[in-house]
Every structure is written in C-alpha cells, then in structure tokens.
Amino acid sequence: MTAPATDLQKSVFATLDGDTELSGLLGGQRVYDRVPPGSAFPYITFGRTALYDWSTGTEIGTEHIFTLQVWSKARGREETQAIMERVRALLHDRPLPMESHRLVNLRLEFAEDRQDDDLAVHRGLLRFRATVEAVNGE
C-alpha cells in the first residue's frame, strides 16, 4: 500500500499537471517536487508537508498539512495571484481520486503572495489541510 502522503501528493500533482488552464498560466506543465536546473518561470513547487495521526479504534486516518509555492519573475503580482487562484479552484473542496486511500476533505487554510527582493521573484504560498483515511482499514 502506498503511504498516504505519497498517495495524496500524486493526486494533487496529477490534478494540477493535467489542467490545461493552469498549464496555460504556467506556460507549460511546470509543477515540480524538485525544480530541474534552468527551469523557466513561472512554476509551482511542493513545499513542506506535515502529517498527524487521527486514527480511532475503528478507523485509520491522517491529517495532512501541505504547502504549494508559486514562483514568478513577472513584474507585479497579477501572474502569481492568477496561478494561486487557479490552484485554489482545482483543489479546495474537490474530491481528488487517490489510489489506495480516500480523501475525506481538502481545504485551503492560508494563502500569501509576497515579493522576495533577494531572489527578485514573487512567491505565492498556499497551505492546504487534507484529511485522508485508509480504504478497508489498511
């Protein structure tokens, strides 16, 4: 059985990478776990992930807090904010398919857009909370 965090990340990646509107905003399929050297901007990266067990005597489940980061070199915030809004629309309260687990819910908890003067980029941060349970108690 796939680890719940891996299963969730695969589902999020497939959802984002498979969306033509998001690919249009990014200029291609630019959703990365690890950014390839020389990658063009803008792009999205997976950030921190934290897991918490919420299992009960009869159910096995985990809570996942994960972040997605949007990186842009465009002047102004418009590009970053448009990408962030599309990501929110694709993930917030959506029933994403998972291979060996069931997504109970997925919610955007926090979003931030800021200029990083040291790197000369705009960086958007989206923090999501997902509740996942094992299928068949596995």
Contact 45, 33 (CB under 8 A): yes
The predicted structure's pLDDT at residue 118: 75
Question: Quick one: pLDDT at residue 1?
Answer: 65
pTM: 0.92
Q: Taking the domains of the chain in order of start, what are their residue ranges?
A: 4-31+41-137
pLDDT at 138: 52
Cβ–Cβ under 8 Å, residues 15 and 94: yes
| Pairing status of strand 43-53 against strand 61-72 | antiparallel
* Spatial CA neighbour of 43 closest among 69, 12, 13, 10: 69
Q: What is the mean pLDDT of each run of 10 residues along the chain (138 residues)?
A: 89 96 97 95 96 87 96 92 98 94 96 86 96 79
Q: Which CATH superfamily is domain 4-31+41-137 in?
A: Phage tail protein-like (3.30.2000.10)
